[in-house]
Structure 1
Amino acid sequence: MKILLFSHSFYPRIGGIETVSLMLAKNFQNKREVSVIVVTHTKEDGTEKLPFKVVRDPSIKVIYNLLKWCDVVFENNPCFRMSWLNFIVRKPKIVALHTWIGLPKEKKLIHQKAKTFFLNDYDAVIACSKKIKEHTFKKATVIENSYEAAVFKATTIKKTKDFAFVGRLVSDKGADMCIELLHELNTIQDEKYSLAIIGDGPEMVKLKELTSRYKLTSQIRFLGFLSAEAIAYELNENRFLLVPSRWEEPFGIVVLEGMACGCIPIVSDGGGLPDAVGNAGVVFERNSHESFVQKTVQLLENTKLQQSLLRNAKAHLGEHTEEEVCQQYFNLILKASKT
């Protein structure tokens, strides 16, 4: 079987869609009698030698020839600007949705309505969370994201630290809410908790100013951008992962990564984060400082709940392994190729 995989952005660029596209392409290529070609607008090659061909920033003619070559087309997130020719060539096609087409509770614009309409022409549509399915395309099949188990795993490192935040430092991600949480805990509890903020972004200066204002500089570490391996090391040192996103995350792979490193996730209830956490973490009301503090305090004071959530994590992670998720994708691709 010949699979043409469209990914608007791809390795060596870094991001959620890029990571999933690379993972799927490698996994498909490793299957018997399967050939994969990735088509992307990303021009950079990167240093990693890939086991499949990558066609970068192709012309319409090249895309047409690739469509004639393949047995099935897979788009990791809609790539209409590259794949539109397939509405003419008519090869079996599948698309995965990793983000919203128009934000929840907002009226869809004309071009967003058009995108949703064109999804009806696909042989299968995959949504990365129940929320994406519910809001974007109700006929989609839900296949939740996986995590990199080879990197994010529990170690023998002793958990001597408390809270970790991992993400881009923008207001939507809510890193400031983590600092506010620590300040509140200082006022209502005797224990002084630690917080590691992992990531970089335009809010860095404001976050450091807020830390200084609350006199939390001895409790908060700003670690900046780290490699995946370094993030895993830090997560293994901490007991809890904070994901207080203000915007509705489509899923939240970082939740799985933290869980795999032995952290208990505390997440907002927006978008796909409740799907990502399952029954192995705590969910609070999005944008509510009061709810965030209340749920955190309840967890800190309930060691039985902590132990229960940690036990639940193993089964939950088993449903999100790379092998399990890739096989679910491949089953739909195989089915489409035979139609």
Structure 2
Amino acid sequence: MNISTIRLDMRITIVSEVYSPRIGGMERYAEDMAMYWSEQGIAVDIITDTQDEGHQPTTQPYSVRRGLSFTEKVRAFKASETIFFVGVTIENILAAYLAGKRAVISHHGVYIYNQGLSHSIKGMIKRLLCRPMNNISVSKFVAREVGGRQKVILNGYRDDLFFPPQHKPNPRTFIFCGRLVPDKGVDLLISAFAKVHQTYPDASLAIIGDGCERDNLTSLVNQHNLNDRVTFFGARALPEVAEQLRQNACLVVPSRWNEPFGIVALEGLASGCEVIATAQGGLPEALSGHGRIVAPDADALAAAMRQVCEGKQSRQKAEVSKYLQSRRARCVAAEYFAYLFSSASQHDVRQDLVK
């Protein structure tokens, strides 16, 4: 769809439970969509439950409203022509039903939790509430799990931040970027790196991120006597993450759990890295054949890491460049925009409720 054919007096409300100043994939995603659509002349409002304790003034061409009550959300939704959800909360979806306006939901997870019965029930309710609406999933994996009327649009990346280095880094430099929690499998990566270090003692591993597993992971590094080869950088702002990726030859994504997509894998590709990822959830889709996909265990990770140390490449420059061109944030935002105003998504949610 040509965006120039869209009426520009429309108002889109983006509903994102998490948002800046928090740092994460969904937060960046909501910002990217708001910025691009605003640049097209569309009036964009962001509604979020994330508070900004510092009350930072915004210079963005869209409004941000925080901490609205349920009644205020219903009123805001009624005033909007289109409601676009970045993820799902039960309260927000119910507010959309009461407002009776058409809504499109972008899914960045499958709402299946391991924290007990109450969380499982909440996840089931979320999936059921989403079924009658138009759904966009960030991978085929997510679309299959969530069900309902689905459109798959793979995630995008910020090409103004993530781009290849001018000079190739040492081929024996590895990096991880993400939360330090059990699901992310950083302990598997450290164990794999210990195996690689036995053959390549000059190899190094940079770990970007923080979380509840930080102390346990530090102890594991100590057990393997890798203190001088493994560096914990803690959490870093996005520009610093991009720079660190350019300084390392290989990004490893050792997740144990089914990643809905794995945007960091895409960012690694864009930064010129060889990428090794586990065959979990949407990670293979994120790499789209341009990286190494392995089982989530230390031996498999170590074998792939040794191949990188030996200089074996899994990426073809021309093919990777073509793929990355299609996943730029602006291109992805245009895909979403076209779908939001296509005939496939033009309906009032109340029409579905009476079917």
Partners of 2:113 and 2:120 within 8 A in 1:
no
1:112 and 1:171 mapped to 2: Cα distance? Answer: 21
Structure 1 residues 237-276: Cα deviation after superposition (integer angstroms, max 9, x where no partner): 1110011011111111111111111101100101111111
2:265 and 2:319 mapped to 1: Cα distance? Answer: 14
Q: After the TM superposition, which parts of structure 1 deviate over 6 Å for at least 4 consecutive aligned residues?
A: none
- What SS class does the counterpart of residue 325 from structure 1 fall into? helix
Aligned counterpart, 2:270: 260
In structure 2, stretches of 5+ residues that fail to align are 1-9, 348-355
Partners of 1:281 and 1:309 within 8 A in 2:
no
Aligned counterpart, 1:14: 23
Equivalent residues, number: 332
Is 1:55 the equivalent of 2:65?
yes
- What SS class does the counterpart of residue 172 from structure 1 fall into? helix
**1:284 CA drift (Å):** 0.3
2:152 and 2:81 mapped to 1: Cα distance? Answer: 23
Q: Classify 1:71/1:157 alpha carbon distance in 2 versus 1 (closer, same or farther; 3 Å).
A: same
Aligned counterpart, 2:12: 3
Q: Classify 1:325/1:204 alpha carbon distance in 2 versus 1 (closer, same or farther; 3 Å).
A: same
Paired residue type of 2:338:
N
Partners of 1:241 and 1:255 within 8 A in 2:
yes
1:317 to 320, 324, 344: 324
1:84 and 1:267 mapped to 2: Cα distance? Answer: 37
Is 1:292 the equivalent of 2:301?
yes
1:138 and 1:296 mapped to 2: Cα distance? Answer: 39
Q: Classify 1:300/1:73 alpha carbon distance in 2 versus 1 (closer, same or farther; 3 Å).
A: same
In structure 1, stretches of 5+ residues that fail to align are none
Partners of 2:250 and 2:308 within 8 A in 1:
no
- What SS class does the counterpart of residue 121 from structure 1 fall into? coil
Structure 1 residues 171-201: Cα deviation after superposition (integer angstroms, max 9, x where no partner): 22122222211211233x2553111111122
- What SS class does the counterpart of residue 283 from structure 1 fall into? strand
Moved more, 238-247 or 291-300: 291-300
The correspondence of residues 82-231 of structure 1 with structure 2, limited to 5 A, is 82-102=92-112, 109-122=120-133, 124-137=134-147, 139-160=149-170, 162-187=173-198, 189-231=199-241
1:109 and 1:39 mapped to 2: Cα distance? Answer: 26
Partners of 1:165 and 1:243 within 8 A in 2:
yes
Q: Identical aligned pairs, as a percentage?
A: 28
2:274 and 2:317 mapped to 1: Cα distance? Answer: 7
Aligned counterpart, 1:43: 51
Cα RMSD (Å) = 2.3
- What SS class does the counterpart of residue 249 from structure 2 fall into? strand
1:6 and 1:229 mapped to 2: Cα distance? Answer: 25
Structure 1 residues 134-175: Cα deviation after superposition (integer angstroms, max 9, x where no partner): 122153111111111111111324413511111111222122
1:25 to 24, 30, 34: 34
Partners of 2:181 and 2:212 within 8 A in 1:
yes
- What SS class does the counterpart of residue 18 from structure 1 fall into? helix
2:232 and 2:318 mapped to 1: Cα distance? Answer: 30
Moved more, 62-71 or 194-203: 62-71
Partners of 2:74 and 2:98 within 8 A in 1:
no
Paired residue type of 1:173:
K
Structure 1 residues 101-148: Cα deviation after superposition (integer angstroms, max 9, x where no partner): 2159x99944333322222221x2001111101122153111111111
Q: Classify 1:26/1:269 alpha carbon distance in 2 versus 1 (closer, same or farther; 3 Å).
A: same
